[in-house]
Amino acid sequence: MAWQTYGLDREAQKLVLAAKKRDADSLNQSFKMRMTAAYGLERFWGEQLRLRGKEQSKADYWKETWDSLVKIMDKAGIKLPNHSDIEITSQQLWGDIPIVEGDASTKLSLNDQRIALAVLTQFCDCLVWWTQRYK
């Protein structure tokens, strides 16, 4: 199997530029994202919910980052939940219920969670790097 970068750096740059354009104060969220990644996919995904309504530009940055991770992992053959229902997404992240896409459904395995978390950590490192360049 050949090495595949999945465009993490390029995607991170796009996200940082969009966040800076929307609200430069939201850029510090990159550092918080990197710290939160250590606590797991569930907490990372949930941070957008905490910020929603209070600090919307920051919540948008978290949501866009999650959406990008979902697309990146899809390229790797790992499905991450991105359902609008909070309870469903939460259960899917814990592997309790399957992620349904079209006719296919799959539960998020422990191995897939670990891979996604490793990719998320690297993705956040890229976000931090670009944040430092554009601040």
Distance CA 29, CA 62 (A): 8
Q: Tokens representing 113?
A: 């969670």
Average pLDDT score over residue span 2-19: 89
| Whole-number pLDDT of residue 6 | 81
* CB 94 within 8 Å of CB 131: no
pLDDT at 3 exceeding the cut of 80: no
% of the chain surpassing 70 pLDDT: 98
Instruction: Report pTM.
Output: 0.94
- Average pLDDT estimate for 28-39: 97
pLDDT confidence band for 5 (50 / 70 / 90): confident
Angle at 44 between CA 112 and CA 122, to 5 degrees: 60
Is pLDDT above 60 for 112? Answer: yes
Contact between residue 80 and residue 41 where contact means Cβ atoms under 8 Å apart: yes
Q: CA distances (Å), 131 to each of 87, 96, 99, in order?
A: 32, 35, 32
pLDDT at 101: 86
